[in-house]
């Protein structure tokens, strides 16, 4: 049986890059960049005044002048004025520094009487103070954002500051989420005592959406070989990524692996030495479609989606890898079987600012209320049975892009 590391390596090895599309810059939040964003101009593009006040020449101040006739006013966005000898210009924050000026005194430190600005006697003027020099943040052409960056609201500011109206980003693959099982009944439909509410489909669609993949259609297929063959063939023809849940265990109605094989989906692995999610199946379709068949147990389905499907989608987009995140166990954990344990946790902050993970017990049948209180899960490596409080472990948040 594959280890969790071997399983993720196999998934990533089978994942190829998605195509590129061009989108409006203001609709690119959460998308993965496929181009370099370069500074359009020096930043700031001119010597920028950072205080409301007056601008004058240092040479005049140095020679003892303290009263300056006001030549005029220049606000942000005004054309640059040329300062005349011995005078000052009333200047506003964000304005370009007037020609010949190199000194700013804030408005709080002057008094203007009859058109003459007088500097407070005790105020010490410094040359170049309150001037944000041209190009001091970055030079024209500097690489500000690189391919692989997931566009954040802060990046939107960078893109806008470079004057870009469109950006090249990774095109999301077409993803289908498919619930299998005779017992499943969707919300809003009448349900009998022996039936189960279908929760995996909506939860997987939502988990994918929370990672930015927000156009995933959902289908429900009953445990019937012909129905599975017909519908899965259709989905394989239309989608690039299939995320199935249920029907991959050893039960007599678990037809999913056999039907997928029948449709030309080559099995890459079946079963991972982990809990939950041990029965997971993964294969590659005839046209390179990634087919993830997750166990039906709701905790397993969500963990497997977060652990294997999301990293594959990130790789397809060319997203820059993020550094692993750790948390410290808030209490002792013991785990018997020689499997990697993905333990759902609730996160709190410790007194020293560290992230503490409180293990939350979930019943195997899918204890939704308990799961809903968790922020993610921690990875407890196999071949170790006792994890004392304070042990640093890998943390995977449910929602993190």
- Report the interface residues with ligand AMP, using CB under 6 A: 179, 181, 183-184, 196, 198-201, 245-247, 249, 251, 295-298, 365-366
Q: Provide the minimum distance between the beta carbon of 40 and ligand AMP in the complex, in angstroms, as a whole number.
A: 50
Q: Provide the minimum distance between the beta carbon of 222 and Mg ion in the complex, in angstroms, as a whole number.
A: 10
CA atoms of 353 and 160, how far apart (whole Å): 35
Cβ proximity to ligand AMP, 179 vs 274, nearer residue: 179
Which partner in ligand AMP, Mg ion, none is near 276 (CB below 5 to 8 A by kind)? Answer: none
Torsion angle, alpha carbons of 158, 162, 165, 167, to 10: -60
Which partner in Mg ion, ligand AMP, none is near 257 (CB below 5 to 8 A by kind)? Answer: none
What DSSP character marks residue 360?
-
Q: Provide the minimum distance between the beta carbon of 177 and Mg ion in the complex, in angstroms, as a whole number.
A: 15
- In the bound complex, which residue of the shown chain has the CB atom lying closest to ligand AMP? 296
Q: What are 197's strand-pairing partners?
A: 185
Q: Provide the minimum distance between the beta carbon of 365 and ligand AMP in the complex, in angstroms, as a whole number.
A: 6
Q: Provide the minimum distance between the beta carbon of 223 and ligand AMP in the complex, in angstroms, as a whole number.
A: 8
Cβ proximity to ligand AMP, 87 vs 200, nearer residue: 200
Which partner in ligand AMP, Mg ion, none is near 179 (CB below 5 to 8 A by kind)? Answer: ligand AMP
Beta-carbon contacts of 26 under 8 Å, excluding residues fewer than 6 positions away, are 156, 160
- What is the distance of C-alpha 205 from the center of its chain? 17
Strands (E), 181-240: 184-185, 196-197, 217-221
Cβ proximity to Mg ion, 138 vs 222, nearer residue: 222
CA atoms of 125 and 110, how far apart (whole Å): 11
Cβ proximity to ligand AMP, 200 vs 362, nearer residue: 200
Which partner in Mg ion, ligand AMP, none is near 183 (CB below 5 to 8 A by kind)? Answer: ligand AMP
Provide DSSP, 154-179: HHHHHHHHTT-SEEEEEPPPPEEEEE
CA atoms of 175 and 305, how far apart (whole Å): 13
Q: Provide the minimum distance between the beta carbon of 93 and ligand AMP in the complex, in angstroms, as a whole number.
A: 58
Cβ proximity to Mg ion, 181 vs 212, nearer residue: 181
CA atoms of 80 and 337, how far apart (whole Å): 75
CA atoms of 12 and 316, how far apart (whole Å): 9
Cβ proximity to ligand AMP, 363 vs 365, nearer residue: 365
């Amino acid at each position: 049986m594959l280890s969790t590391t071997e399983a993720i390596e196999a998934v990533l090895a089978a994942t190829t890059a998605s195509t590129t599309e061009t989108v409006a810059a203001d609709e690119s939040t959460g998308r993965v960049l496929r181009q370099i964003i370069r500074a359009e101009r020096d930043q700031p593009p001119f010597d920028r005044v950072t205080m409301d006040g007056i601008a004058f020449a240092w040479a005049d101040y140095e020679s003892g002048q303290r009263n300056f006739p006001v030549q005029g006013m220049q606000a942000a966005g005004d054309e640059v004025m040329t300062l005349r000898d011995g005078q000052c210009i009333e200047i506003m924050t964000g304005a370009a520094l007037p020609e010949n000026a190199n000194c700013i005194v804030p408005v709080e430190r002057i008094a203007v009487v009859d058109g003459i600005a007088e500097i407070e006697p005790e105020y010490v003027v410094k040359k170049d103070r309150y001037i944000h020099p041209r190009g001091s943040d970055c030079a024209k052409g500097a690489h500000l954002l690189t391919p692989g960056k997931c566009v954040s609201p802060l990046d939107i500011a960078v893109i806008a500051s470079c004057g870009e109206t469109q950006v090249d980003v990774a095109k999301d693959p077409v993803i289908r989420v498919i619930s299998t099982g005779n017992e499943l009944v969707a919300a809003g439909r009448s349900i009998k005592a022996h039936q189960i509410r279908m929760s995996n489909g909506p939860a997987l669609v939502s988990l994918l959406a929370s990672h930015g993949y927000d156009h995933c259609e959902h289908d429900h297929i009953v445990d019937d070989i012909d129905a599975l063959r017909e519908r899965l063939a259709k989905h394989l023809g239309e989608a690039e990524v299939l995320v199935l849940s249920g029907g991959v265990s050893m039960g007599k109605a678990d037809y999913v692996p056999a039907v997928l094989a029948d449709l030309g989906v080559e099995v890459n692995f079946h079963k991972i030495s982990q809990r939950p999610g041990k029965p997971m199946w993964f294969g590659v379709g005839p046209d390179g479609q990634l087919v993830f068949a997750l166990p039906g147990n709701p905790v397993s389905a969500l963990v497997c989606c977060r652990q294997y499907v999301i990293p594959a989608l990130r790789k397809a987009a060319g997203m820059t890898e993020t550094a692993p995140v750790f948390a410290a166990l808030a209490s002792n954990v013991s785990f018997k079987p020689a499997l990697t344990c993905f333990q759902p946790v609730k996160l709190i902050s410790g007194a020293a600012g560290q992230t503490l993970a409180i293990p939350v017990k979930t019943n195997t049948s899918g204890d939704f209320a308990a799961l809903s209180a968790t922020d993610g899960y921690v990875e407890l490596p196999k071949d170790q049975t006792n994890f004392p409080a304070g042990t640093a472990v890998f943390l995977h948040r449910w929602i993190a892009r």
